[in-house]
């Protein structure tokens, strides 16, 4: 499967790559990228030959999150982040997913990647839960996954500060996630994928069902609460002003 924004490619026996490559939006949540991701994960679920998937971006971009149009729509009461449940794609995928974040992961794009089973960050890239920078509270399950992946202290700091973190800084903060030079991310992901692909597919699926049970059972209540917070924060005049100012024209 391939479209202009998302390419699904078999790398080796049992290993499939999902490459986000929407250069026009810099891998923001354009309609093309969102639809491409939905189709890619649907195809993976149907194909019994796949044992592990690698989710990655292009050049220096992993995923940039919400587009200006999307955020303005949300601030005007048109739709919300649950319209397309991107945050749970990797989580609900039956086989293990590796997020090979070779490039910048911003906002919802960063959060989406964190719901994978395995994560590899780039030392040079920027990672940010920048929701509050625009004036609205975090969404897409960020309030669940950030403390879960980075610990309560750092995860909370990332949400409240909304600042940019280089992968190298996160590495120095002692996160339990591999951080390597950008040019090594894909090789590290493929090495891990090869190790996983040697295992029986049924065993991989069975173990993932167990290891993801906490996140799957709690994600709904967290996203419900995030939507409640958005009703208070997304429609603030200051939020719309910040979106327009920070995105520019």
Residues taking part in catalysis: 230
Query: How would you label 139-156 residue by residue, b for 16+ Cβ within 10 Å and e otherwise?
Result: bbbbbbbbbbbbeeebbe
Query: What does R_g of the chain's alpha carbons equal in angstroms?
Result: 17
Whole-number Å distance between alpha carbons of 153 and 155:
6
Which two structure tokens, joined as six digits, stand for 246?
Answer: 């920070």
The single residue listed with the structure tokens 């994600």 is 219
β-pairing verdict for 126-128 and 104-106: parallel
Identify the three-state secondary structure at position 7: strand
Among 25, 79, 13, CA closest to 37: 25
DSSP string, 90-156: HHH-SS-EEEEE-SEEETHHHHHHHTSSEEEEESSSEEE--GGGGTS---TTHHHHHHHHH-HHHHH
Measured between its terminal Cα atoms, the distance across the chain in Å is 34
């Amino acid at each position: 499967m391939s479209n202009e924004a998302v390419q699904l490619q078999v790398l080796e026996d049992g290993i499939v790559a999902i490459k986000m490559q929407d250069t026009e939006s810099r891998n923001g949540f354009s309609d093309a990228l969102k639809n491409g991701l939905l189709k890619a994960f649907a195809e993976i679920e149907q194909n019994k030959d796949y044992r592990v998937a690698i989710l990655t971006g292009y050049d220096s971009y992993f995923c940039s999150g919400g587009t200006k149009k999307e955020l303005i729509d949300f601030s005007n009461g048109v739709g919300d982040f649950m319209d397309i449940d991107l945050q749970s794609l990797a989580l609900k995928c039956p086989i293990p997913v590796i997020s090979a974040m070779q490039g910048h992961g911003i906002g919802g794009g960063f959060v989406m990647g964190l719901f994978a089973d395995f994560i590899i960050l780039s030392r040079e890239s920027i990672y940010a839960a920048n929701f509050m920078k625009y004036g609205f509270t975090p969404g897409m399950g960020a309030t669940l996954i950030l403390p879960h992946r980075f610990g309560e202290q750092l995860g909370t700091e990332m949400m409240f500060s909304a600042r940019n973190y280089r992968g190298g800084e996160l590495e120095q903060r002692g996160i339990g996630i591999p951080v390597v030079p950008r040019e090594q991310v894909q090789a590290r992901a493929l090495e891990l994928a090869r190790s996983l692909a040697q295992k029986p597919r049924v065993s991989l699926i069975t173990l993932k069902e167990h290891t993801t049970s906490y996140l799957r059972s709690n994600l709904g209540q967290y996203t419900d609460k995030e939507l409640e917070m958005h009703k208070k924060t997304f429609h603030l005049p200051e939020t719309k002003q910040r979106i327009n100012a920070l995105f520019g024209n």
